[in-house]
Amino acid sequence: MSQAELEIEVSGQRIPVQKGQTFAEALQQADEKIKKQAKKALAVKLNGKEYDLNVPVPESGHVELLQFDSDEGKKVFWHSSAHVLAQALKRLYPDIKFDDGPPLLQGPGHFFYDVYTDHKITEEDFPKIEEEIQKIVRENYTITRREIPKEEAIKKFKNEGERFKVAILENLPNDAVISLYRQGEFEDLCRGPHVPSTGRLGVFKLTAVSGAYWKGDPANPMLQRIYGVSFPDKKMLKEYLFRIEEAKKRDHRKLGKELDLFSFHPEGPGFPFYHEKGSILFNTLANFIRNECEKRGYKEIRTPMILSEQLWIQSGHYQNFKENMYFTEVEDKEFAIKPMNCPGANLVYKSAPRSYRDLPLRLAELGLVHRHELSGVLHGLFRVRAFTQDDAHIYCTPDDLQKEIRSAIEFTIDVYNKFGFKDTIIYVATRPEKSLGSDEIWEKATSALTQALSDLNLEYKIKEGEGAFYGPKIEFNISDSLGRQWQCGTIQVDFSMPERFELEYIGSDGAKHRPVMVHRAILGSLERFMGILLEHYAGKLPLWLSPVQVRVLSISENQHDYANKITEDLKKAGFRAEADNRNEKIGYKIRDWNAKKINYALILGEKEKQENTVTVRSRGEKESYTVSLREFIDKLHSELAQ
């Protein structure tokens, strides 16, 4: 046996490797424990770089086994799954051309493949495709990698008529390593890594098919995108499907209908109609945030919904945001319906001379803005055409900027905690193409944001070119029950608007200075936030938010008077209560009370009426207990105080 030339280390164990030996072969020399782990490995990471198990070990170093339990392992598993999907599609539709098939960590599937074929793939084709996929898994092809020069790869794919692959290749640098992966008769351009064989992939299910623009550009032709999920075993697929079902149950659009909160109508697509109970929820949220703002020195203002087009030219909205704006004309004058609140706030700022002693001036506004959104993006309360922002504009001196950003961040996180949103993802969005001001100003504004985040030890990711046209932003994203991320809060530093509006304050030196402006919203849109809350709580709102907190159920007609009196007493005590005096049995009323997700039921029969008590049943509990109304009200108060 020849001398080992390389050495890898796995979980503290050193393994000698002969030249040309693959990772899989090398791992066979490890002890039983590691061999067992290696069997489950999908790929490996050597010195931080991912490799296939089936390639020769290129160098010595530390090896990590990638399994399905990590995000990296999942990505390998799902990426290979996408290839199997492609192979199946090629068998069924020989004319098919492939674009790209990446893994996903969130979205409507674990992976997709974008394809072009004359055959319109519909969900009816899924069983057939899935069958072919499982066949490929059973056939257990070894997946092998080979590397070829770019020119050769382009030639190969040109010959095969794979024009999308050719386009991908042409975009790569000339010295790029071009790797191809083969499994049976199918070979695909891919960076890898991949699982060692198709048999390693377990159960598949195709989840969706839709159009997707080539390279994401609406000007390009549309490809067909086929989404799927895959798991190592059936049980995990079942759990996944169960979770999807659960998520559907808490869809806020469904809950909004069931709980009679809001509705949408063809007469106003994207414009929510709040019913009585939805209004209560909306107003409760609005008052909550008002209160929190007041505690922190904000002053509330209200500005008009329709303002002269001239103002929007001055602010730059007309030039940068026009496609999203609604316009109207009166007496030959052009007006725009406000898509943002900042220009209005600026006029309020300018309504009086400002001194440095007035700063920071924090002007809050629950502003109803209208934005024309493309019809295809509308989505319940998550995406509407008219929404109320818990907006505020903070005018401060450059010296106070850091402090103001920090306290806005802290304010935001405090509010999310109140609702139990823990894992907020923070982004910093930088200068977009369509924007105002110099690079220098953008640099200054962006670093003000990142500095504040760093000072508070908060992690963030960069979203290149996703800022507002007037300034960079911090975005706070929270996730809904399907794992989708929604932007709620935002903090934006703006040096441009003060310039364009010639905002000034008199400094301690008696001279005129320009304030900096911070735009910020915490809930973002009350509409969206309400939708997220409904899904977050699955409609079971905490007491303080519930449109109906208590429902009073009479056992029979004899207690109607008593039930009405108790209901009135609760209302007088400041609670939202309603009586159910319908001519129905108590079982029916309990069932309906439960379905409406009301926090408490008071059950009133002859016994309670005689003893002047109430029998309390809490949401989600089967047991009830009997107390005086006084005691019940005390309990409600203490719950609200929490």
The nearer residue to RNA, 354 or 528, going by C-beta atoms, is 528
Q: Are 532 and 509 in contact (CB under 8 A)?
A: no
Residue choice 582, 612, 630, 637 for contact with RNA (CB under 7 A): 582
Binding residues for RNA restricted to 363-392, rule: CB under 7 A = 371, 373-380, 382-385, 387, 389
The nearer residue to RNA, 10 or 491, going by C-beta atoms, is 491
- Is 557 among the residues that bind RNA (CB under 7 A)? yes
CA atoms of 181 and 161, how far apart (whole Å): 18
Q: Which of 519, 520, 536, 576 is catalytic?
A: 519
Per-residue DSSP letter, 557: G
CA atoms of 380 and 378, how far apart (whole Å): 7
Binding residues for RNA restricted to 185-244, rule: CB under 7 A = 208-213, 216-218, 222, 224-225
Least gap, CB of 491 to RNA (angstroms): 11
- State yes or no: cis peptide before 360, omega within 30 of 0: yes
Is 473 labeled as catalytic in the residue annotation? Answer: yes
Is 391 labeled as catalytic in the residue annotation? Answer: yes
What is the sign, positive or negative, of the torsion defined by CA atoms of 589, 592, 596, 599? positive
Report helix, strand or coil for 50.
strand
Residue choice 148, 313, 506, 586 for contact with RNA (CB under 7 A): 586
Binding residues for RNA restricted to 477-506, rule: CB under 7 A = 486-490
Per-residue contact track with RNA, 416 to 445, x per CB under 7 A?
A: ----------------x-------------
State the CB neighbour count (10 A cutoff) for residue 95. Answer: 10
- Give 311-378 as a DSSP string: HHHHHTHHHHSGGG-EEEEETTEEEEE-S-SHHHHHHHHTTS--BGGG-SEEEEEEEEEE----GGG-
Q: In terms of Cα–Cα distance, which of 398, 309, 390, 395 is closest to 345?
A: 395
CA atoms of 589 and 505, how far apart (whole Å): 63
Q: Which of 252, 317, 371, 551 is catalytic?
A: 371
Residue choice 8, 230, 608, 632 for contact with RNA (CB under 7 A): 608
Least gap, CB of 403 to RNA (angstroms): 23
Q: Is 80 exposed, middle or buried (0-12, 13-18, 19+ CB in 10 A)?
A: buried
Binding residues for RNA restricted to 319-358, rule: CB under 7 A = none
Least gap, CB of 363 to RNA (angstroms): 18
Per-residue H/E/C for 474-500? EEEEEECCCCCEEEEEEEEEECHHHHH
Is 393 labeled as catalytic in the residue annotation? Answer: yes
The nearer residue to RNA, 349 or 476, going by C-beta atoms, is 476
- Is 585 among the residues that bind RNA (CB under 7 A)? yes
Least gap, CB of 153 to RNA (angstroms): 25
CA atoms of 134 and 142, how far apart (whole Å): 15
Per-residue DSSP letter, 68: T
The nearer residue to RNA, 20 or 587, going by C-beta atoms, is 587
- Is 107 among the residues that bind RNA (CB under 7 A)? yes
Binding residues for RNA restricted to 73-102, rule: CB under 7 A = none
The nearer residue to RNA, 324 or 450, going by C-beta atoms, is 324
CA atoms of 28 and 67, how far apart (whole Å): 17
Residue choice 108, 199, 507, 542 for contact with RNA (CB under 7 A): 108
Least gap, CB of 519 to RNA (angstroms): 10
Is 580 labeled as catalytic in the residue annotation? Answer: no
Between strands 178-183 and 186-189, the pairing is: antiparallel
- Residues facing 468 on adjacent strands: 471
The nearer residue to RNA, 202 or 380, going by C-beta atoms, is 380
Binding residues for RNA restricted to 127-186, rule: CB under 7 A = none
Least gap, CB of 297 to RNA (angstroms): 23
The nearer residue to RNA, 556 or 628, going by C-beta atoms, is 556
Residue choice 165, 252, 354, 617 for contact with RNA (CB under 7 A): 617
The nearer residue to RNA, 303 or 525, going by C-beta atoms, is 525
Report helix, strand or coil for 126.
helix
Report helix, strand or coil for 400.
helix
Least gap, CB of 47 to RNA (angstroms): 33
Least gap, CB of 118 to RNA (angstroms): 12
Is 389 labeled as catalytic in the residue annotation? Answer: yes
| CA dist list (Å): 505 to 12, 122, 315, 425, 471 | 65, 63, 19, 36, 21
The nearer residue to RNA, 6 or 543, going by C-beta atoms, is 543
Which residue is listed with tokens 């007469």? 267
Residue choice 454, 558, 612, 628 for contact with RNA (CB under 7 A): 558
Least gap, CB of 463 to RNA (angstroms): 9
Q: Catalytic residues, which ones? A: 342, 371, 389, 391, 393, 473, 519
